Amino acid sequence: LVSRSAKPDSTVVRVKDVDIGGGSFVMMAGPCAVESYEQMLEAARAVKKSGAKVLRGGAYKPRSSPYSFQGLEEEGLKILNAVGQETGMVTITEIVSSSHIEKVSQYADILQVGSRNMQNFELLKEIGKSNMPVLLKRGLSSTIEEWLNAAEYIMKEGNPNVIFCERGIRTFETYTRNTLDLNAVAAVKNLSHLPVIVDPSHGTGRRDLIAPLSRAAVAVGADGLIIEVHPHPDMALSDGAQSLTPEEFDKVAKEVNKILLAL
């Protein structure tokens, strides 16, 4: 179902008035985690002005350490929803348990399956039974084949609204948090009809590398970008080191648009 041989024309996942895939390029942006109404509103207004159509913000944060900030949970969902409505943006947030599907779908427009859950097959199957758009992040150490199969789990249950997201994989390199695999973006665009989004924030883990890798993602044929932006990165409760300021994001968005025009 995922394969391009099964469906030669590219799939467009339509979320409200936003088309993802099929030739239009979408910018998704916002903080790693929802921290407060004020933080989300400030971030949302800024990224919208720069052209982002989709607002991100995690309410359930699967952190490496149980002592790190775990997210505002349902309170965070409510804030994301309120700011989405206030700004007229489509919203995306991570879902970590199949028992949350109803609740999260009530507050957000796109479900994000995080890297750590890419092979949580029970979660994938339950999401497959809903009709919610889903951004499927590539697992930390997953092969392209495993990633395609994860999408197949969702589609097999009847949900066609799957979007891939390359967010870097674990390699021997430690200078960057992960290694953004742009090979995989080009390969999956060939292998599947589904849209592919690139996350240079988790793919590099470094603010100074977001702009160049964003440019590369456009050139390699990605259908969009998802970038972490925080009004005050130094004060971020998670992923501050890879978060752009709104001004830095605006610059990236302008560069991306220039490349899109040239393609």
Site string for Mn ion, 222-261 (x = CB under 5 A): -----------------x----------------------
Applying CB under 6 A, which of residues 180, 202, 217, 224 lies at the interface with ligand PEP?
202
What are the φ and ψ backbone dihedral angles of 206, each rounded to 5 degrees?
Answer: -135, 125
Q: Which is nearer to ligand PEP, 28 or 194 (CB)?
A: 28
**From the centroid of its chain, how far is CA 153?**
19
CA separation, residue 15 to residues 55, 92, 107, 114, 152 (Å): 12, 11, 14, 19, 20
> Interface mask (CB under 6 A) for ligand PEP, residues 209-238, using x and -?
------------------------------
- Cβ within 8 Å of residue 57, ≥6 positions away: 30, 31, 32, 33, 34, 40, 43, 76, 79, 80, 83, 91, 93
Binding residue for ligand PEP, selected from 13, 32, 92, 135, defined by CB under 6 A: 32
Which residue in the set 39, 87, 91, 115 belongs to the binding site for ligand PEP (CB under 6 A)?
A: 115
Q: Number of residues in contact with Mn ion, rule: CB under 5 A? A: 2
Q: Which does 53 bind (CB under 5 to 8 A by kind): ligand PEP, Mn ion, none?
A: none
C-alpha 61/C-alpha 104 separation (Å) is 14
Applying CB under 6 A, among 21, 30, 57, 58 the residue interacting with ligand PEP is 58
Q: Binding of ligand PEP at residue 204 (CB under 6 A)?
A: no
Residues in contact with Mn ion by the rule CB under 5 A? 32, 239
